[in-house]
Every structure is written in structure tokens, then in C-alpha cells.
A and B are shown apart, each in its own frame.
Chain A
Amino acid sequence: MSNEYRAVGKSFPKVDGHKLVTGAPAFTDDFHLPGMLWGKILASPHAHARIRHIDSRKAKALPGVHAVLTYKDVPRVPHTTAGQAWPEPSPYDTYLLDSKVRFVGDRVAAVAAESRAIAEEALRLIEVDYEILPAVLDMEQAMTGASVIHDEPDSKNIYDAGHNVAGYILREIGNVEEGFREADYIFEREYRTQRQQHCSLEPHISICWLDADGRLVIRSSTQVPYHCRRQVAQILQLPISRVHVIKPRIGGGFGGKQEMLLEDICGALALASRRPVKIEYTREEEFYMARSRHPQILRMKMGVKRDGTIVASQMKVLAGTGAYGSHATTVQGNTGSKVLPLYRAPHMLFECHVVYTNAPVAGAFRGYGCPQGYFAQETLVDEIATELGIDPMEFRRKNAIRLGDVDRLSAQLGEGREGLARVIRSCGLPECLERGATAIGWQQKRKQRFDRHEAVKRGVGMACAMQGSGIAGVDWASAFLKMNEDGSFFLQVGASDVGGGADTVLSQIAAETLGVTLDKIVITSGDTDTTPFDVGAYASSTTIISGGAVKKAAQKVRAQIMALAARMLEAPVESLVCAENRISAPGKSISMGDLALHAMYKEKVQIMEGASHFNTDSPPPFCATFAEVAVDTQTGRVQVLHLATAVDLGTAINPMYAEGQVEGAVTQGLGLALTEELLLDGDGRPVNPNFRDYKIFTAKDMPTLSTILVETEEPLGPYGAKSVSEVPINGVAPAIANAIFHAVGVRIRKLPIRPEDVLRALCEEQKEELAAV
């Protein structure tokens, strides 16, 4: 399919790769501004407290301190930090600085000083008298409303502040009760997932200064420069035109930087000190003062017929958003809308309470609610298949959504509002299942029985998943292209490459459409002064939405080029062929460079065009994940030996980087499944905010990875592309949990699956077996 293309479907190295392998100054922190100050935030030591009295005079008097801000010094503007399209569906429950603190790590004050040491000393000199309030960390307890976390009157769009409910969702297709009555069997289980942290290697960082015109410039590690500009302007009460956000190279985001997190306070310090200010989270701060994945308790119920047909599917979720409701309803909405419709049950119900607790704040994280939902659904489906004696893969094949189906739940459950129905216009799930199964040796390994007396037992398990490609009817992007007199092109996009290769993929789409080689495209991305609007890098939207805008803009520019070429070559437009930087008519041709010179200096015309793009549907990529594990029955240790992931991503614009997205996603999925959890003590203090105690996978912990790209042709995507970055994370944990069951016969329904959990389950099983004897 992709063979007819010259730029699309090819594994080009990253267009920004050279500067990254040579260590050139490309990231936010990689430049010095004269007179730049260090900003530091005074973090709350208490999970819930009111500031009775705060005195910053001593800090201000410290030599080298240029600004100290408390809630008394800044405007009070309720807002959300969630980097979402306006109007954000997240509650406006956050303040630049407040007289109340709601989690350990919440902002109390901020300083800007001439050195880090002085800034840290200044923080120590701020005197705070706290009235400590009862902290609530348990989600179920939070809903009793015994301690109200958001009792301020000016927050907006909180579902039920008195009971700490940030958001509530209830949606039904058909009638689940009726469905359960029709069912021959009903299965109901509870699953729990944890607080996972993004662990971008580059912590959050912002540098703010006032330019020569007095405009606030924000150089920041963000996935959402345009949302960030709008939100900072709102919070600091500046006209949007007085704010300039620059996104340089970003050291990983994964959703953690879909958040206006430091830009507001850093900007406030720059305005107060009239000096450039840098704030960078330390690794420890990053763990609990940035964002994390929402922990959830999921109660999943399915009704099935004797032959394995699912008739009713119900998911009830209790999710913790921590102290603020950033992405609260939207992440959790996805837990239902992108998970339940994978199986074509006529009756579906999704209900969710998202509650505030005095814990660090949750937010967007790769998968955006789906990894939690799929852990529950794909484990339950495995349990059902096992009970019914059906091969789990066959059970899924039988029930899975397919080409031409309409997902009606998505119509009810959009981005914090009514959504749009999803029509499946491309579906490679059957091929994903087939090729993934072959890679892992499914047929043969499922049949293997291991010696009961072996201490280490092996098993294989699998899971399916889908996601979306952009938010239907919400996400949009634009692109601008102009031609230079050497036949090269400047491509300007608001899209935010955060490391995954978006700049490369978008350049490939432009090159393909224009008929030029990739080296002729010079891309600038993510600068609110020089590039047109884009919602930013999230919701698996960049390739399909930003790529759609690039393709449109390039088509318009190509039309201008062809019209001019037709005149210059004295040949009809229809006879022209454009490839490899030349436009050819039968018997004659002209180079892009000569054409551009002619356009600029003879015709005095700048060849340029812009275009905007959005979709009213969000085509799902599909994924099948297969895991082979070895479980040590004496220690409970689970070792993943092989992880095979087959992803239907539409067309792979850059197969090498598409594989990279899959491999990166499954590695985060391995951590989610087995090792990662940000733990809090009884007072809400983080227990393990460092890489020694919070364990992410290293090169030597990895299983064998098999990555299979299953290409389909998506009508709504540029050159048939859908998305790839999120969907592969969803199936890892359930595939591993199911493989553990296959190996040792115990079900683990809580993440992460620690050795002690496996061992405990094995002991309980043994006790039951003994009791039965």
C-alpha cells in the first residue's frame, strides 16, 4: 500500500535527531539569560490545612531575593490546570496561590532569588501558621463529606463539593438490567489500579521573562503551548496577545505536560521581579507536585449467554483525582467510552464518581483512563472465557466490535459533554489477534501443562484494546506552509512534538503531498507567536489532526505551484507530475527551486498557504497484547519473558517511530502492571518519590518485545493514518494478569502485581485446596 509513496511509510530518522545526538542546546533549560533568577515553590507539609497567618517579610529581606509571592500578592482566579480546549470540561477549582492547602506539595508561596541556595533559604524564612484540617485520603471515605476539600465559594463546575465529588458520569445504552435478565451467566468482580507517575526524564521546567516590548515570554516544557498561553493570560489577567509561549524540545511528556503547571507561577514571579525566572521541579517534586494517573476502583459486571455472547456490560468506577480536578471527568469518561464498546453488548452502563482526596493531583497520562478500564474489562473477559471453557482469544473474536459497527456509547460520552457516535471505518483487530498469537506461540503454549512440582511455572495471557485518534469534534489544528527561493519549504505547525517524532511525521506528510524530498521541509512547531493554532500533543491526535491540517495546507500550496508550473512549462495542469523536487510535463520539466525563484522575483508572489483541520469522529486504533510470564511460586516473583504487541494504526507514516511508540508504551505498561506505584503514608506524604524506591523498567529488566504493525486504511486520516502512541499501553497489565492465571491459577485484580500479592494469592489458594481435601 505505502509503496506508491515516497515520503509516507518510510522510516526516516528524526528531523530533529542530529541536535539530540550531539547534545546541542535544544531543551528549555539549555540556555542562559542574563540576570536569570531561580524560582522555588514552598510546598505544603500538610495534606489539608488553612493558612491562618503567613509572613514573608524575612524572606523578602534576604539579600538576593527579588520576589516573594503568597496568596495575598496575586489575583484570585478560579481555573483548571488541565491543558484542554476552551471551555475546559475540568472544574475551575485551582488558584495561583490560595489560603488553603489541599495536599502535601500544594503551593504555599513562591520566591525568586539570585541562586538556588538563596531561594531555598528564602523558603525557610517564610513563616506560616497552619490550622491543620482532617485529611481524607481514602476515596470511599471522601464521599461521606466529613471533611470538605473544596469549601471555597468561588470554584466552578464541581459536581458536588460538599461530598468531595469533582465529577459524576452516568450513561446507559439499552437497558442493562434487562440485559442481565437475558443472560445465562453473570460475572461481577472488583479491580483496583494505582497512582502511577509519568517519570519524564526531563522534569517540568519553565523560564519566563519580559521581552523588549514588555510581553511575557514563557519557554516551557509543555505539550500544550496554546492552551498554556490562554490559561496563563486568564490567571495573570493579561491580554492573550501579551503572552508568548515557546515549546522547545521536550524531554518526554506522556500526558504529564498536558498541564499548565509551572507557567503561571513562574510568569507571576517574572512580572513581580521584572527579571527572567526559571522554575524547575526536582525529581522528588516531580513525583508529587506534578501529576499522576488516577487510581480507580472498578466494579465490572457482565452478562453472557451460554455460547459466550456478551449481552450486558456494566462498569462502575470510583476514581481519585487528588486535591484538584484536573482532567477529572474526561479521563474517567474515557474509562467507559473507549473501553466498554470494544465488545458489542447491546446493553451497556457506565457510572463513575470522581472524588477529591488530600492526595497529589491526578491528570492526563498515556491511555487517559483506558489502562484502568482495560485492566478490569480484559481480566474479567478472561475470567468469563475460562469459566465457559472458551479460548480467551476466540471469546474476544466473537464479541469484538468490527468494521461498519457504530459505537453508540461514544455518542453519549464525549469530552465532558455529549459526544459523537463512532463509526468503525477501519479495523485490523482480527489481524492483530492472529499475528500476535503467532508471535507468542499461543496455540501451542496455551495447551502446555507444566509440572505441578516445578517451582517456576510459565503461562501465556492476552488482552485486546482500542483507543481514539483525537477528540471527535473538539481537537483541531492548523498548519502554514511557505516556499523559499531554493525550493525548500517552511512548515509551521502549532503541534507539539514532545519526543515521539511528530515533527518528522508531519514533515513526511508535507513532503509527500508537495512531491519533494524530506530535506526540503524545515519545520517549526509549538510557538504561539510564529506557528498557527493547535490544541497540542494529546489524545493521540497529532498524526491524524495536525497531519490532516498539514496535508490540506500542502495540497493548497501544491495547487499554486502546479498552476505556475503549467504557465511556465506551457502545459496543462493535468499533464504535470510532481516528484523528487521537480515538476514535469511530457518532454520538459522544471525544478522546484527554479520555479520558486521565478515566483518570487519575476511574479513577485510568495507561494504560501494555511489550513485548519478537525474530525467529527475519532477512529480507534486497535491492539492485541500477548504476554508470556514465568511465576516463581516460592517467591511470587513474576518475570515477563515475552511481550508481543500487534497494533492496527492505520497507515504507519514512519514505521520505525511507530514501533518506538509501541515499545515505549508497553514499557510503561510493564511498570503499571508490576512495579510502579507512588505510595503515600497515613498523612498523605509521599513515601517513594525517587527512582530508587519507585521502580521503572531498565534495559536489563525488559522482556523480549515483538512489535507488529498491522496497517489498515483509515478514510479519515491523512494517507490512511490513525494513531499509535496510547493504545499499546492498555493491554499490558491484563495480558500479564491473565498469563499469571494461566501459569499458576490465581487471579490478581489489583495493580501493581507485586510478588507479595502473588504469593498471598497462592497461599490462599493452597489453603482452600487443603480445606477441600
Chain B
Amino acid sequence: MKQMELRLNVNGETKTWTISPGDLLLDVLRREGYFGVKRGCEKGECGTCTVLLNGRPVNSCLLFAAHVEGQELLTVEGLAAGETLDPLQEAFLEHGAVQCGFCTGGALLSAKALLDRRANPSETEIREALAGHYCRCTGYQKPVEAVLAVARKRKPKIIPEEAA
């Protein structure tokens, strides 16, 4: 099959990959070593292959890799800043939101997209944001608590009038 060149930004790094026009983004990412992007159903139903495309969660199993030419991707591998975990990753660990971990990467990214958009989401909004991520281990209780904990910490501090 004909090959083509794909340029994109993954986790802040510019990449140039050779792909076939029909390659799915999920397959290309895994081929390139982004194993945090999981293959759970290949039908856009389970959410384990979620990546952020220009900040928005998408199922990488439903996208042609060619579709993301010139765009920005964030995978779970790019969530931590070097050795420093993202607060969401810390919270998932502290709250026991990780069991088998297979859905975790996708769920973390959707939570991040939510918190980037809404500083102080309600539990309902968090559940809505995680609804696209099937988890068969946790019953969602602890993942929701973890995201809520991060959201609460992020609440803009109310500055007392005299100080302001």
C-alpha cells in the first residue's frame, strides 16, 4: 500500500511518522510505542484508547491517523511533567481509583479535559465526563472521588477583602 508522511505533535514533541492512509490512530500510536493507549473494543465504545486531540478527548480507534496531521495529541504518557505526576495521577493513586489500570489512561485524560474546561465541576459533570470510559473493576466510586478531590483543590482561593 502507498505510504504517506504524518507530521504531528505528541506530548509536546514534534513527530514525523510514515503511515499508510488507512492506518488507525490507535494502531499507529501503539506501533510508535505509546502503549498507554489501549485496545479495548476498536468500536469507540469502551474509552480505553482515548487521547486528547487539541485538548478534546477522542477515541483513537475511530480516527484515521492521517486525520490528525499537524495537530496536537496528548496521551497518558505525556500527562506527567517528567518525574512529577499530574495531580490527577496522584489523586488516582491516593484514592485507590486504579485497579487493573487498563481503563486508567483514558479516564485520566477525559478527567483532565474536563478540569481544563471547567475549574470546579460538579460530581454529575465528572460522572458525565467519565461515562465514556467503561471500568469493570472499581464501580467508578473511587475514580470519581479522585477527580472531585483534584477539582476541590483547584478551586480558586477566595481572597479576603482586606488582603485584596
**Residues of chain A at the chain B interface (Cβ within 8 Å):** 11, 13-14, 16-27, 29-31, 198-203, 249-252, 254, 280, 282-283, 498-501, 656-657, 659-660, 662-668, 690-692, 696-702, 705, 707
Quick check: A702 and B127 within 8 Å, CB to CB? yes
- How far, in Å, is B129 (CB) from chain A's closest CB? 8
Of the listed stretches B63-71, B98-106, B149-157, chain A binds B98-106
Question: A660 is contacted by which of B80, B94, B137 (Cβ under 8 Å)?
Answer: B137
Q: Is the CB of B136 within 8 A of A699?
A: no
Q: Is the CB of B100 within 8 A of A251?
A: yes
* Closest chain A residue to B39, Cβ basis: A29
Measured between C-beta atoms, what is the minimum distance from A200 to chain B in Å? 6
Question: What 0/1 readout, one digit per residue, does chain B (20-52) give for beta carbons within 8 Å of chain A?
Answer: 000000000010011111111111011010000
Contact of A201 among B94, B102, B144 (CB under 8 A): B102
Number of interface residues of B (CB under 8 A): 55
Q: What is the interface of chain A mostly: helix, strand, loop, or mixed?
A: loop
Q: Tell whether, in the assembled complex, residue B96 and residue A656 are in contact, meaning their CB atoms are under 8 Å apart.
A: yes
CA gap between A691 and B59 in the complex, in Å: 14
Least Cβ–Cβ distance between A536 and chain B, in angstroms:
16
B98: A residues at CB distance < 8 A:
13-14, 17, 20-21
Bound together, the chains give a CA A667 to CA B41 distance in angstroms of: 20
Report if B143 contacts A (CB, 8 A).
yes
- Best-buried of A21, A27, A251 by chain B (most CB within 10 Å): A21
Q: Which residue of B lies closest to A500 (CB)?
A: B99
How far is the CB of A280 from the nearest CB of chain B, in Å? 8
CB < 8 Å neighbour of A690 from B41, B136, B142: B41
* B60 on interface, CB distance cutoff 8 Å: no
Q: Which of B79, B93, B96, B100 contacts A498 (CB 8 A)?
A: B100
A665: B residues at CB distance < 8 A = 139
Complex formed: what's the CA distance from A691 to B48 in Å? 13
Contacts of B92 in A (CB 8 A): 17, 21
Instruction: Tell me whether A664 and B42 are in contact in the complex, defined as CB-CB below 8 angstroms, given that A22-B79, A252-B100, A499-B100 are known contacts.
Output: no
Contact A251 B101 (CB under 8 A): yes
Q: Say what secondary structure dominates the interface of chain B.
A: loop
**B85 CB within 8 Å of chain A:** yes
Known interface pairs A20-B101, A22-B76, A657-B99; 5 further A-B residue pairs with C-beta atoms within 8 A, sorted by A's residue number: A14-B93, A24-B36, A251-B100, A662-B139, A700-B131
A200 touches B75 (CB 8 A): no
Tell me whether A660 and B99 are in contact in the complex, defined as CB-CB below 8 angstroms, given that A20-B104, A21-B104, A201-B48 are known contacts. yes
B128 lies within 8 A of chain A by Cβ: yes
A639 to chain B, nearest CB (A): 15
Residues of A within 8 A of B104 (CB): 20-21
Shortest CB-to-CB span from B123 to chain A, Å, is 10
Taking a contact as CB atoms under 8 Å apart, the answer to whether B137 and A692 are in contact is no
Report chain B residues within 8 Å CB of A14: 93, 96, 98
User: With the chains together, A656 CA to B80 CA distance in Å?
Assistant: 24
Q: Which 5 A-B pairs have the closest CB atoms?
A: A23-B36, A499-B100, A20-B101, A251-B102, A663-B139
Q: Distance (Å) between the CB of A151 and the closest chain B CB?
A: 37
- Complex CA distance for A10 and B19, rounded to whole angstroms: 49
Q: Which residue of B lies closest to A31 (CB)?
A: B35
Q: Does B8 belong to the interface (CB within 8 Å)?
A: no
Task: Give the CA-CA distance A21 to B89 in the complex, in Å.
Answer: 6
Q: In the complex the two chains form, what is the Cα distance from A326 to B134 in whole Å? A: 28
